[in-house]
Amino acid sequence: MTHLHLAVALDGAGWHPAAWREPDARPEELFTARHWAGLVREAERGLLDFVTFEDALGLQSAAFHRPDTRTDQVRGRLDAVLLAAALAPLTSHIGLVPTTNVTHTEPFHLATGIASLDHASLGRAGWRPQITSRAADAAHFGRRTTPQLTDADVLDSELIAARLRELFDEAHEVVEAVRRLWDSWEDDAEIRDAATGRFIDRDRLHHVDFAGAHFAVRGPSITPRPPQGQPLVTVLAHASTPYELAAAGADLVYLTPHSRADATARLDALAAATAARPRPLLRPLKVFADLVVFLDDRPGRAAARKRRLDDLDGAAYTSDAEVFTGTPGELADLLLDWREAGLDGYRLRPGALPHDLTAITTGLVPELRRRAAFRTAYTADTLRGLLHLPRPANRYASAGRR
């Protein structure tokens, strides 16, 4: 049986807004390196492919499209790229995939930040570009306005995608510009010959000369080509417009199906978007499904824990992704069933940390191993290697030097 790929999405004390109130949550450590190092090391002990870190340009909110004034939920977070870089020397195999905003951040800065993370981790970096339409976020910068979504808009993912098409078009350009900047240094551009006094071969640094509808980037980057050549680009996609972003520029996409049949439908829509867009420099797109998970060994206990957290928060927790409550064995059944739709793996969002992460590594992973569906050891040192993706050739290198 082909092994599943597994990742975890880390955010604060967990994805349930009341998770910080759990007895084992340690909310006083949420903004410390100790908290995050413990979580990522646990994920690596479970031999997971990678972890993702959430980020945004505004405080968290109960409604993703606008801020609120609640004080009973976690607010504030560490910068995702800086956090991942700090964790890189504390880990050795697991991939590190921060989220960054592309609506208010320059592509040049994004390219150097993720390239630097790939160097710091020796080839384990990934990236999740994310747009934002919140007017409150735009106000932090004062350079532009963005199309603020309404409460009615957010009831329909296709309507959201249509309203935000211009921002997604801009995101296409950001991803393309970043990818070109990663290639702006050839692999052997650094000579480092003290005897001759030559540190770089200037002929192997390239102006990318990217010109789009929203910005132009000259290049080259200030950071040498990343160890992976191209760090992994990942996109969360719920509807047609983000499917197009994933199809055009991503290595991996996260879908949010709510059943096996829904997974099939979303995969078909993604395949149509991919067929309409050439991917000359990219391999076939890897597809993960996102799930929020509450896990416990005893049947019924995870659902009861979620209900208790719902009561603390004052509302039943729902998500863009399917919310699973049950045992590791029941989750393994679901993952293997949905995989038949054509999924390569899953990104699991632990409902509460550290409980549900530990349940993944000590409960779900051994269960999948018993079914010959998950690795027993790391077999590669880079994130691309773990996902069986080759190191891309440099688009600017001459054919004789590739």
Report how far Cα 229 is from the mean position of its chain's Cα atoms. Answer: 18
Q: In angstroms, what CA-CA distances link 51 with 135, 168, 349?
A: 29, 24, 10
Q: DSSP letter string over 152-171?
A: TGGG-HHHHHHHTHHHHHHH
Give alpha helix (H) positions in 75-140.
80-87, 107-120, 135-138
| pLDDT for the residue 66 | 85
Question: Sign of torsion, CA 141 142 144 149?
Answer: positive
Q: What is the DSSP letter of 185?
A: B
User: Of all helices (H) and strands (E), which one includes residue 172?
Assistant: helix 165-182
CATH code: domain 5-401 is: 3.20.20.30
Domain residue extents for the chain: 5-401
**99: annotated binding-site residue?**
yes
From first to last of the 402 residues of the chain, give the pLDDT tens digit: 689 999 999 999 999 999 999 999 999 999 999 999 999 999 999 999 999 999 998 898 988 788 889 999 999 999 999 999 999 999 999 999 999 999 999 999 999 999 999 999 999 999 999 999 888 888 888 888 888 888 877 778 888 878 888 999 999 999 999 999 999 999 999 999 899 999 999 999 999 999 999 999 999 999 999 999 999 999 999 988 999 999 999 999 999 999 999 999 999 999 999 999 878 778 889 999 999 999 999 999 999 999 999 999 999 999 999 999 999 999 999 999 999 999 999 999 999 999 999 999 999 999 999 999 999 999 999 999 999 999 999 999 974 454
55 is in an annotated binding site: yes
Which is nearest to 253 in space by CA: 230, 289, 287? 287
For Cα atoms 346, 237, 56, give the angle at the middle one, nearest 5 degrees. 95
Alpha-carbon dihedral angle through residues 166, 167, 169, 174, given to the nearest 10 degrees: 150
CA distances from 84 to 6, 79, 120, 358, 367 (A): 18, 9, 9, 20, 29
Q: Is the CB of residue 133 less than 8 Å from the CB of residue 167?
A: yes
Residue 400, pLDDT score: 44
The CA distances from residue 271 to 2, 168, 233, 242, 285, in Å, are: 21, 19, 18, 13, 9
- Helices 165-182 and 240-249 cross at an angle (nearest 10°) of 10
Whether the CB-CB separation of 317 and 16 falls below 8 Å is answered with yes
Model's pTM, two decimal places? 0.96
Res 135: pLDDT:
84
The pLDDT of residue 133 is 84
> Which pLDDT value is given to residue 401?
55
